[in-house]
Amino acid sequence: MQYASKEPNRMPKQYSPKSDSSAGGKGRWTDADRRKRAERGAGRSRGSLSESQASRSAARPARGERPDWTPREKPARAGYDRPRTDDRAPRREWNDRPQRDAHERPARSYQDRPARPHQDRQDRPTRPYQDRPARGERPDWSPREKPARSGYDRPAREDRAPRREWQPREDRPARTERPARPVYEDRAPRPRYDDRPARPRYEDRAPRSLSEPQASRSVRPATEDVVLDRLDAAAVAADAGSGMTFSDLGFGDNIVRQLAAMGASEPFPIQAATIPEVLAGRDVLGRGRTGSGKTIAFGAPIVERLLRLHRDANPRGAKGRSMGRAPRALILAPTRELAQQIDRTVQPIARSVGLFTIAIVGGVPYQKQLTGLQRGVDIVIGTPGRVEDLIERGDLDLSGIAISVLDEADHMCELGFLEPVQRIFRLTPDGSQRLLFSATLDTAVESLVAEFLRDPSVHEVEGEDQASSTIHHRVLMIDASAKRDVVRDLVASVERSIVFTRTRAFAEDVAEGLMISGIPASSLHGDLNQARRNRNLQLLSRGDVRTLVATDVAARGIHVDDIDLVIHADMAEDHKTYLHRSGRTGRAGAHGTVVTVISPSRRRRMEELLKNAGIEAEWEDRASPRPPRSANRSFREDRPYRGPRRNSGEAGSQDS
């Protein structure tokens, strides 16, 4: 809808030369009108212009005359009002002097000089020589005689006291008159060494084989590998746990479901043998090879045992979960990693029935551990050092401990933890239950057994030898310079592996070399703080790295699934360390390979180690060929000639 404007439509008035005659306007312009207009315009332009307009119009050039842009002539430079130079006084002309001619000079002549009498010397006065002193009257410069030396006023020799008169030798007393020396016949006779047994002659030794290398001077002396006697144990059949469930061993439904969730559907032989004894309250010593399930063998029955003790003490069903309650179970481990590994295994089992655990290890702040103890825990898992620290601070009370466990008991004693463990066990109540577990349980723990265990039951699985093992052992003899290359090739051939070294520096070197070669690797040793050690171990567990290069810190108790290969880049110190290193693979019935890389000079030592461990390995020699040595030639004859020995005039014999 459109709205109409209030004002009427008005057409704009347009000018038109032609208008209506009724309006009084003219019609069209005629020629006469145009001429008159032009005359009026011309007259107005001539008469009405002002003087300025007229001057400007006169100064303007005609349209046809363009301005001249040629450079104008500049006026002569006035020289900044300087006086003109032409009005100065005329310069002095030097050419007004008379010209000097060299030939006009008078010739220089020496003829006007009086002649010098050179030849006639008679006119000179005669020089008298008679007034000179005679030659003999000259001073005498001959050396004068020095006065006799008076001895610096010393007294004359005649004034001295007379010398002592020595008696002639004949007047001296004879030597026989001197007192006789004391006689030492009363002394005990000196020991004679000719009664010692003769040393064995080296000629009686059996000749060395040609393939056996001679010892190198640079080889570090090996420590003695002592094989202790095993404790007498009740043998458990290898199939003791077949067809049996954890419910049959006496566990509750919650624990059984949690074990099944962890992948343990039926007990292993060592578990089937020791769990009933632990639930019955007896002291137990368990020995089983690595990966045989020892952690569950003491972890699960501890939880069940604490529940039963709580029900017996609280028949009305009190929960007993008060804040700040003292722990009732203690588990000791030699290393931080092993203690944390045990905590990761036992914690879900304890949580399934409402119990709480805490890991107490060194290398981490105290506050988190103190907070957990103040809230109250049931099971404490730790290392002896940190446990003693908290006991001395008064933050840990062991008066309520009912069960004490010592994992890797023999290794704990070897590391010097025997006295700390004894001090800790003495703080627990007398008569409490104590358990000892290890893969190589021997007489090294006899002192602990004699002091703290009461009628213990010792169990081991029979038939756990190499024939029943799932681990393949190999030994590679290589040149020392090729060790890093061989380790790199072995690691690259598998998906997940662990490399063991003797020193921390070599562990870092090998890990860095693998990273440079494109193989993801991490290190684990004592120089790293606990946070980095945990992180590097988790990198291998998650599969972020393929290889873990570690020292013996990770040799005991560290469980990582699906380890295909274990490499001993440095040979183990003893057979126990070798067994625990090798136990990182082939766990829980899986297959694995163990490769030891040594130089040819370490072959005899490696043979002794394998013999003590009860293992037969496959040998492979990749070292450079060595020159054969005859059995009749001595070791010195095989050495190359290196010149004469120092501080000796003897020359060495040239090897022919």
Pull the structure tokens for residue 486: 């061989």
Quote the pLDDT of residue 250: 86
- How many other C-beta atoms lie within 10 A of the C-beta of residue 552? 19
Can you name the CATH fold of 234-461?
Rossmann fold (3.40.50)
Query: Which pLDDT band holds residue 227 (cuts at 50, 70, 90)?
Result: very low
Cross-strand partners of 595: 474, 567
Contacts of 327 (CB under 8 A, 6+ apart): 373, 377, 378, 379, 380, 396, 397, 398, 400, 401
Pull the structure tokens for residue 128: 């008298």
Closest by CA position to 436, among listed 249, 238, 282, 304: 282
Question: What residues does each domain of the chain span?
Answer: 234-461, 471-621
Element (H, E) at 619: strand 618-621
Cα–Cα distance between 458 and 436 in angstroms, integer? Answer: 9
The predicted-structure confidence for 497-520, as pLDDT tens digits, reads as follows: 999 999 899 999 999 999 999 999
The predicted-structure confidence for 578-615, as pLDDT tens digits, reads as follows: 888 888 887 766 788 999 999 999 999 999 999 888 88
Order of all β-strands in the sheet with 618-621:
521-524, 547-550, 497-500, 565-568, 592-598, 471-477, 618-621
Report, as an integer, the average pLDDT of 186-215. Answer: 60
Name the percent of the chain lying above pLDDT 90. 24
Q: Who has greater pLDDT, 546 or 319? A: 546
Contact 450, 479 (CB under 8 A): no
The predicted-structure confidence for 426-446, as pLDDT tens digits, reads as follows: 999 998 999 988 776 666 677
Quote the pLDDT of residue 574: 84
- How many other C-beta atoms lie within 10 A of the C-beta of residue 612? 16
Cα–Cα distance between 241 and 267 in angstroms, integer? Answer: 5
Q: Who has greater pLDDT, 336 or 198? A: 336
Contacts of 490 (CB under 8 A, 6+ apart): 497, 565, 567, 595
Domain 471-621 CATH superfamily: P-loop containing nucleotide triphosphate hydrolases (3.40.50.300)
Question: Highest-confidence range of 100-109, 236-245, 472-481, by mean pLDDT?
Answer: 472-481
Cα–Cα distance between 227 and 204 in angstroms, integer? Answer: 28
**What per-residue string of b and e applies to 480-496 under the rule 16 or more CB within 10 Å gives b?**
eebbbebbbebbeebeb
Mean pLDDT of the chain: 76
Report, as an integer, the average pLDDT of 142-158. Answer: 68
Check whether 216 has a pLDDT greater than 50: no
Quote the pLDDT of residue 416: 75
Query: Which pLDDT band holds residue 379 (cuts at 50, 70, 90)?
Result: very high
Cα–Cα distance between 280 and 510 in angstroms, integer? Answer: 49
Cα–Cα distance between 527 and 60 in angstroms, integer? Answer: 103
Indicate yes or no: pTM above 0.85.
no
Quote the pLDDT of residue 158: 66
Quote the pLDDT of residue 649: 41
Report, as an integer, the average pLDDT of 22-49. Answer: 68
- Looking only at Cα atoms, what is the longest distance across the chain? 199
Quote the pLDDT of residue 636: 47
Closest by CA position to 278, among listed 397, 427, 432: 432
Quote the pLDDT of residue 500: 92
Check whether 17 has a pLDDT greater than 60: no
Closest by CA position to 534, among listed 340, 295, 385: 340
Question: Highest-confidence range of 284-288, 395-399, 450-454, by mean pLDDT?
Answer: 395-399
Cα–Cα distance between 355 and 376 in angstroms, integer? Answer: 10
Quote the pLDDT of residue 15: 47
Quote the pLDDT of residue 401: 94
Quote the pLDDT of residue 182: 67
Report, as an integer, the average pLDDT of 127-155. Answer: 69
Quote the pLDDT of residue 653: 38
Report, as an integer, the average pLDDT of 185-193. Answer: 71
Quote the pLDDT of residue 538: 85
Cα–Cα distance between 297 and 313 in angstroms, integer? Answer: 25
Report, as an integer, the average pLDDT of 447-459. Answer: 85
Alpha carbons within 13 A on the beta-carbon side of 288: 29
Contact 288, 270 (CB under 8 A): yes
Closest by CA position to 249, among listed 277, 215, 229: 277
Question: Highest-confidence range of 124-138, 302-316, 380-394, 546-560, by mean pLDDT?
Answer: 380-394
Q: Is 213 exposed, middle or buried (0-12, 13-18, 19+ CB in 10 A)?
A: middle
Cα–Cα distance between 336 and 529 in angstroms, integer? Answer: 11
Quote the pLDDT of residue 498: 92
Check whether 491 has a pLDDT greater than 80: yes
Q: Does 471-621 match 234-461 at the fold level? A: yes
